[in-house]
Chain A
Amino acid sequence: MKKKTYMTALFGLLAALAVALSYLESLLPTAAFLPPGAKPGFSNLVNLFAASFMGTLPALGIALLKACFAGLTRGLTAFLMSLCGGVLSTLLMCLLLRRQKRLSFIGIGVAGAVCHNLGQLAVAAVLVGNRSVLGYAPVLLLCALLAGTLTGFVFRAVYPALRRIPNASHFITMHKKDKKGKE
């Protein structure tokens, strides 16, 4: 089926984009005003797009591939942290995109970023075997606020153009009748 091929190709493209963005991010110098380990989360944009236009499974697949990339380049710790954060935030964003109409993209971006950071922090606490790491939460919450707002803002800005992409399903409940099932 043509559409299936199209979706597969789109998935590959997006996964590559997510990986490229997260690599690009790692090249950024650690800005003095940002706490260590905090990243702007550019590739969350890709996840948000996949969640909006492709469905939950492809979005989760992208999170998984991104985690694998982190694992290959930065080790098991990075894999686990990326996976947990990515899967949690993707699931939440999918849920918010489909089940409610109040939050706009900015709210969804913030919710996703918060979830991502808290998920990572939880994994870190388990790996390190010390709950005191959770004291890092407030700083990460503030970072998530910034990063999530940025993600949501950019997504909203490019949204009208993205909607013209042919064949992409629209999973967002806000403005489309729900299309049930994945192709």
Chain B
Amino acid sequence: MTEKWFSKADFFLILAVLAGAVLLLLPQWLANENTVIAEVTVDGVTVQEIPLKPSDEKQQYTLENGVVLETENGTIRFFESDCPDAVCVHTGALSRAGEIAACVPNKTVVVLKSEKNAAVDGITY
């Protein structure tokens, strides 16, 4: 019995997944490089909004659940977390709008938003 290694349908499936990924990534690539704001949410509730500036000194923020965030030079990263696999810490530093780091066990998410969007939100309120 000869079984195909690779079929036309495989090709189209892979193409579709690729296209989907690129489409979803586009907004992130097109995001302008303004100052970004790091929005920190715990269990869906925004607990902190940290503006990131390239001139920032190193600074650490300790959240109530024990997660430690660190900002430096316009980037933010999970510095310390007590979760088992520390995916959040390994994510490393975020600097561009649209980038995300999450710690699922601690229900903590850091999302970077561009300042422009934040301003629009501010006006809409």
Write the residues of chain A forming the contact surface with B, with a CB cutoff of 8 angstroms: 26, 30, 35-37, 73-75, 77-78, 81, 102-107, 110-111, 114, 124, 127-130, 132-133, 135-139, 141-142, 144-145, 149, 152-153, 156, 159, 163, 174-175
Contacts and interface: CB of A to CB of B under 8 A. Distances in A.
A103 B98 CA distance: 34
> Chain B, interface size: which category?
35 or more
Q: Is the interface of A mostly helix, strand, loop or mixed?
A: helix
Contact of B104 (A124, A144, A159): A124
8 contacts: A36-B90, A37-B90, A77-B83, A129-B45, A138-B28, A149-B14, A163-B1, A175-B1
A75 B107 CA distance: 14
A107 B107 contact: no
Contact of A136 (B17, B22, B102): B102
B3 A156 contact: yes
Given A37-B87, A102-B7, A152-B10, 16 more contacts: A36-B87, A36-B88, A75-B83, A75-B84, A103-B7, A104-B5, A128-B43, A129-B43, A129-B45, A130-B111, A135-B24, A137-B21, A138-B25, A145-B18, A153-B5, A159-B3
Interface of B: 1, 3-10, 13-14, 17-18, 20-22, 24-25, 28, 41, 43-45, 83-85, 87-88, 90-92, 98, 100, 102, 104-105, 107-109, 111
Nearest to A109: B10
Contact of B109 (A132, A139, A141): A132
A132 B80 CA distance: 21
Given A77-B104, A128-B107, A103 B3 contact: no
Q: Is the interface of B mostly helix, strand, loop or mixed?
A: mixed
Given A102-B7, A174-B3, A114 B17 contact: yes
Contacts of A163: 1
Counting from the closest, the 9 A-B pairs by CB-CB distance are A129-B44, A107-B10, A102-B9, A36-B90, A138-B24, A141-B21, A138-B21, A37-B87, A74-B84
Contacts of A104: 3-7, 9-10
Nearest to B91: A36
